[in-house]
Amino acid sequence: MSNELLRLAQVLESRKGAPEDSSYVAHLYGKGLDTILKKIGEEATETVIAATKDDDEQLIYETADLWFHTMVLLAHRGLGPQQVLDELARRAGTSGHEEKRQRSAK
């Protein structure tokens, strides 16, 4: 796993149970799942908007925000980036159409 993803996952984990006013992440955890999900929705929308413009720097910035808030969600649920990377590795070499069929059959 990327060192940055690992470092971020450790920081996110360390913020659990911290006072809400001690950090932005602790604030998100304290507000709960709905607030975290709203942030992901906001960041996803901003990423889509950035993708429509000819500004790669802004697209990277918004994608970083989206990834960050998604990692907050994973940590909130007791998950981490390694599980997502493992799932991507499991799918490697499988057609996207086939992977979708496999999910639909469950």
CB 12 within 8 A of CB 72: yes
State the pLDDT at residue 105: 80
DSSP secondary structure string for all residues of 41-89: HHHHHHHHHHHTSS-HHHHHHHHHHHHHHHHHHHHHTT--HHHHHHHHH
State the pLDDT at residue 1: 56
Q: CB-based burial of residue 69 (10 Å sphere; 0-12 exposed, 13-18 middle, 19+ buried)? A: buried
State the pLDDT at residue 34: 98
- How far, CA to CA in Å, does 85 sit from each of 2, 6, 20, 23, 90? 10, 12, 30, 27, 9
For the chain (106 residues), the mean pLDDT of every run of 10, in chain order, is 88 96 98 98 98 97 98 97 92 79 75
- How far, in Å, CA of 106 to CA of 81, rounded? 24
- How far, in Å, CA of 16 to CA of 78, rounded? 10
Structure tokens at 74: 């994973």
